[in-house]
Chains A and B, each alone.
Chain A
C-alpha cells in the first residue's frame, strides 16, 4: 500500500481510538457527580469534554513516552501501529458494551506489544519495562487510591456528619463540581497525549518527522477534539457501573473519591509514575464505599472489573497480534480487508448495545437486582381487597 494512504489510515485509527478513550473514560471523572445529582448527565459530560479539550493543550511532555521502553523503537512500523490501535479499540468497545471500566492506555500498550511480538519477535519487547511500567503500577494504583479515598471518606463523615447536620450534602455537591473538573483536566492532560504520541510515532516511523520530534500542531488539535468529542458522547454504561453498580455513592463519598483520585493522579504524574486514570478512579470509588460505615460494596461487580483489568493487556495484545500477522507486510488488500471488517465489527457491537440502551436519560435508573428481590419479597403478594391464598398469591407476584 502507498505510504501516504497507510499513514492516513493509521491516523484515522488513532483518532478513533482517542474517541473511544474519551467516551470509555467519561465515567472516571463524572460518574460520581452524575450518581449523586451534583450535575445533570448532559451537563457533566459537556463540562468534562471542555476540560479534556483544555487539558490536551496544557502539556505534550508525555506524548512521546507511550511506547518508549516497552518495545524497541526500531521495530515500530506503520502496520504494527495500525494493528496495535485496532486491538486497543476492540478491547475498549468490548468492555464498554459490558459496562466495565478498563484502562485504555493498557489496551493500547497491549495492542502495540501483541503486534510487535508477531512482527519482530519477543526480543523486540522489553519484559522488564512492561512489569515495571505497566503491571506493578496497575496493581498498586487502585490500592493506593482506594486507601486514600477510604480514609478521606471516613474523615468527611466524621467531620461533616451529613445525618446530624442537615444540608452538608448540598455543599459536597458543589465541591464535586471542582473535584470532577480536576479529574477531567488531569485526564485530558494524560490520555489525549497518548494518542498524540502514537500519531507522532507513526509520523516518525514513516520518516515524516525526525526522531524525538514533538507532536505537530495539527496532531495536538485533532487529538484534543477527538477525545473531547468522545467524552461528550458519554460512555453511559461505564458511568452506571462506576456510579451505581459498584456501590451506592453519596455526595461526601463522591467528593472524597474524586479528590483522592485527583491527588493520586497528579502526584504520580509529577513523580513520573505512569498510572491508569481508570484504575485510580475505580479504586477511589471502591475506597469511598469501604470508608463509609454500613455501605454496601457489590464485590461481584468489583471482581468482574478486576478480571477485565487483568485481561486488558493479553486480550488487546492477542487481537493486535492476529491483525498484525495479517497486515505485517503492508499489503493493500490485507489492510483494506482488516479496515472494512473492523468497521463492520464496531457497527455490530454498537447495534447489539442498542438492544438495552443506556443513555443520559436512564443512566441513573439503576436498581440492584438484590434490592429488587428484597423489594419483591417485602411487597404484599396481593393488593387489599383481592383474593388471598396460594393461587391468588402466585397471581399477584407475577403482575
Chain B
C-alpha cells in the first residue's frame, strides 16, 4: 500500500487542510457573529468591530500565505 500512497504527504495535506479549512471558517464565524451582534439598524460596538477586523485579517493572511506557498512552488 505504501508504494501507492505517500502517507507523509497525505498526513500533511490532512493536517494543513484541517487547520486552514476549519480555522478560517472558525475565525470568520467569530467575525460574522461580532458584526451581527448589534441590534438591527445600529452599528456594532468598537470592541466588536476590532474583534471582527482582527479575525478577518487573520483569515486573509492565511489565504495569502497559502496562495503564495502554492504559486511560489
- Chain B interface mostly: helix
Tell me the A residues contacting B by CB distance below 8 Å.
Answer: 58-59, 61, 128, 131-132, 136, 140, 144-145, 147-149, 151-153, 155-156, 159-161, 165-168, 170-172, 175, 178, 182, 185, 189, 252, 255-256, 259-260, 262-264, 266-273
Once A and B bind, how many residue pairs between them come within 8 Å at the CB atom? Answer: 124
With most chain B CB atoms within 10 A of its CB, the pick from A140, A160, A166, A267 is A267
Point out the residue from B28, B35, B36, B67 that lies within 8 Å of A255, measured CB to CB. B28
Give me 7 A-to-B residue pairs in the complex whose CB atoms sit less than 8 angstroms apart, sorted by A's number: A148-B17, A155-B25, A161-B33, A165-B37, A178-B63, A266-B69, A269-B70
* Contact (Cβ within 8 A) A266 B67: yes
* Contact (Cβ within 8 A) B69 A260: no
Give chain A residues whose Cβ lies under 8 Å from the Cβ of B32. 160, 168, 171-172, 175
In the complex, the chain A residue whose C-beta lies closest to that of B16 is A267
In the complex, the chain B residue whose C-beta lies closest to that of A272 is B9
**Closest approach, in angstroms, between the C-beta of B38 and any C-beta of chain A?**
9
Tell me the B residues contacting A by CB distance below 8 Å.
Answer: 3-6, 9-10, 12-14, 16-18, 20-22, 24-26, 28-33, 35-37, 40, 63, 66-67, 69-71, 73
CA distance A57 to B21 in the complex (A): 25
* Contact (Cβ within 8 A) A170 B3: no
In the complex, the chain A residue whose C-beta lies closest to that of B35 is A171
Give chain A residues whose Cβ lies under 8 Å from the Cβ of B26. 152, 155-156, 159
Give chain A residues whose Cβ lies under 8 Å from the Cβ of B24. 259, 263
- Chain A interface mostly: helix
Given contacts A132-B4, A155-B29, A165-B36, contact A58 B22 (CB under 8 A): no
**Closest approach, in angstroms, between the C-beta of B25 and any C-beta of chain A?**
4
CA distance A256 to B57 in the complex (A): 18
In the complex, the chain A residue whose C-beta lies closest to that of B63 is A182
Given contacts A61-B73, A255-B28, contact A165 B13 (CB under 8 A): no
CA distance A243 to B63 in the complex (A): 24
Give chain B residues whose Cβ lies under 8 Å from the Cβ of A147. 18
CA distance A273 to B70 in the complex (A): 12
* Contact (Cβ within 8 A) A132 B18: no
With most chain A CB atoms within 10 A of its CB, the pick from B10, B17, B33 is B17
